[in-house]
Chains A and B, each alone.
Chain A
């Protein structure tokens, strides 16, 4: 069991890659930087693969497997070990992170080939892998928090990778500060957990929770606080505003951090803390409501965006909403399933978008594209597959995972009709805006200057990752396929132990397996599939058949159009309600009054008193001997009188 007993190797590899590139890579040729960075992540992936092999040989009673390396800190009863754990959930996350991460690293060697700061980019990317794997492997909340903040740091560094561009630097700050609001809630939640359970270790918490019931109010508080962190990290309402701006970063970063892995950390955390959430129905409802509303809301914004990456960004926010909806209605496995398929198809979509941008010579506006289908066929076909997957067309990965979530919202133990309706409406919008993207980019007449822009397919190191991810976007969901023909859902069966081990009550008996034909027909002739195809057709009507329709519609629904086009003015509202008052207070109170008057005033005042009194006193040193003599006499007289006084008092 070489890897399982040395889990730290999985963390050490990307960290070493990051350190080597960061410290030495500046003077190295790109090929050397490549081999270090790609080597580190590839070895990580191999280590994870070996870990999975060993994991399947473990006896069930040894899962979760915990590796405790050293005691990090002790303060009274508070004790944190640097401990890593492996269970089914970890295995899924490890595979997704290391596999998608590796492909995106390879893609980046092509995409970033002509950029400055090459070594820096790969150093950050490897560092991100280290922190993300720490987050996933952590066996307690504090180690998890290290990974949690670390990925936030790397996100900041990579969004602001082109830091000379003000908008990129600002977007990095926005991402960091906005997620920090959520992290505050998360930190308080961790403190509450410790106060309640006297431990921050996952297994200890869950065991004590299963043995001694905790009041529901307290659990709800804890869960909502933890969920606040997830809202910030996973860009849900109302803290989603940073993710669209994060598109200022290089496109591979958007694919890796802001689509496939980091933003899903919130979903992972909620799934990891499932014993707590399952015992707090109100918190579950909050999670589901936030997820469903976000899924619908940001899909509406995605309808009107013209920047290809912004469409995908709002789509990511929306899909993350689905994952939370799944967790909120108790279908954690479905949420994680969607996390995995989303990592494939959304990572692919971003990489394809990067390939399009690359082909168009750094043009991101879809209104200036069109007709690219023939010129960049590999990008076109892979992006079409990803779009079919995200839209939920039967047979593709997104269909299975989204269907599971919506099914749980419709008929699961926490079913809720309104949430289901929001989910289905969001699915229709998803299908529409994704096909709008495809039609605007790849179909129709070219809307760019064909003499100025030399459209070319990307090099092999970019297209091969696209093809691999396209393969996953089709078949990544087929773990669940046997269910439709009367078999079992391999994915959720595999994850089941994580979600049932400490569940509050016995899981509901598996629904009587419907006959194969009925289940298949039920899944295919369902609302999600219907609305997905409807969205496709409407997009086709609007952008291929009759391009005048959207303009007429925009005119007749002018107010709504303006509202959505400006993203519901949320950024402006936040600026007016929070940012500007905060700036005003900082400038006019904290800076000009507290800092300049009080703090500087005190320091300068002390100095002024010393200087002024010194200035007066130094005039005594006149150089005039007779005045010195006079002072000696005065001193002697005073001293004598004092002596007499003291003696007289005796």
Chain B
């Protein structure tokens, strides 16, 4: 039996929503970072589902791009997190608010 595409989309939306909520409300930088990954992967899921439903490769190509970007992003991001942890001895985003008016 073939799972209808709407099921994938609902799952993708739920995962994306969880990612958004975690992104906004979590204080730990690593958690915020993980929630971004969660959102990216939710979108990846939607891409794959559409690609399969339409029998096209475009969506899959997009997914590879997203994975590459996510890998690069996590490399840069984790480097920032390490510097942050060294300088502030904390991973709380609320303590990093120097850049303001």
> Please, could you name 24 A-B residue pairs with CB atoms under 8 Å apart, sorted by A?
A618-B101, A619-B101, A621-B100, A623-B98, A623-B99, A623-B100, A624-B93, A624-B94, A624-B97, A624-B100, A625-B32, A625-B96, A625-B97, A626-B24, A626-B25, A626-B27, A626-B93, A626-B94, A629-B23, A629-B24, A629-B32, A633-B20, A633-B23, A633-B24
Chain A residue, CB-CB nearest to B101: A618
Contacts of B24 in A (CB 8 A): 626, 629-630, 633
Say yes or no: A622 contacts B97, CB within 8 Å: yes
Chain A residue, CB-CB nearest to B29: A625
Contacts of A618 in B (CB 8 A): 101
Binary per-residue interface labels of chain A (150-189) against chain B in the complex, 1 for a CB within 8 Å, 0 otherwise: 0000000000000000000000000000000000000000
CB distance from B19 to the nearest CB of A (A): 11
CA distance in complex: A626, B22 (Å): 10
Contacts of A622 in B (CB 8 A): 97, 100
Binary per-residue interface labels of chain A (604-627) against chain B in the complex, 1 for a CB within 8 Å, 0 otherwise: 000000000000001101111110
Binary per-residue interface labels of chain B (67-100) against chain A in the complex, 1 for a CB within 8 Å, 0 otherwise: 0000000000000000000000000011011111
Say yes or no: B100 contacts A625, CB within 8 Å: no
Chain A residue, CB-CB nearest to B97: A623
**5 closest Cβ contacts across the A-B interface?**
A623-B100, A623-B97, A618-B101, A625-B93, A624-B97
Residues of chain B in range 22-42 having any CB-CB distance to chain A below 8 Å: 23-25, 27, 32
CA distance in complex: A629, B23 (Å): 7
CA distance in complex: A626, B23 (Å): 8
Further contacts, 12 of them, CB under 8 A, given A624-B93, A624-B100: A619-B101, A621-B101, A622-B97, A623-B97, A623-B98, A623-B100, A624-B97, A625-B96, A626-B24, A626-B25, A630-B24, A633-B23
Residues of chain A in range 65-98 having any CB-CB distance to chain B below 8 Å: none
CB distance from B30 to the nearest CB of A (A): 13
Chain A residue, CB-CB nearest to B23: A629
CA distance in complex: A625, B24 (Å): 9
Contacts of B101 in A (CB 8 A): 618-619, 621
CA distance in complex: A496, B24 (Å): 105
CA distance in complex: A633, B98 (Å): 22
CB distance from A644 to the nearest CB of B (A): 14
Chain A residue, CB-CB nearest to B93: A625
CB distance from B65 to the nearest CB of A (A): 20
CB distance from B2 to the nearest CB of A (A): 27
CA distance in complex: A489, B100 (Å): 98
CA distance in complex: A619, B24 (Å): 19
Chain B residue, CB-CB nearest to A619: B101
Contacts of A625 in B (CB 8 A): 32, 93, 96-97
CA distance in complex: A625, B98 (Å): 10
CA distance in complex: A619, B101 (Å): 7
CA distance in complex: A515, B56 (Å): 133
CA distance in complex: A619, B97 (Å): 13
CA distance in complex: A625, B25 (Å): 11
Most chain B C-beta atoms within 10 Å of own C-beta, residue among A619, A624, A626, A633: A626
CB distance from A605 to the nearest CB of B (A): 24
CA distance in complex: A555, B97 (Å): 95
Contacts of A624 in B (CB 8 A): 93-94, 97, 100
Chain B residue, CB-CB nearest to A630: B24
Chain B residue, CB-CB nearest to A615: B101
Contacts of B99 in A (CB 8 A): 623
Contacts of B27 in A (CB 8 A): 626
Contacts of A623 in B (CB 8 A): 97-100
Chain B residue, CB-CB nearest to A623: B100
Contacts of B20 in A (CB 8 A): 633
CA distance in complex: A593, B24 (Å): 54
CB distance from A99 to the nearest CB of B (A): 79
Residues of chain A in range 569-609 having any CB-CB distance to chain B below 8 Å: none
CB distance from B101 to the nearest CB of A (A): 4
Contacts of B94 in A (CB 8 A): 624, 626
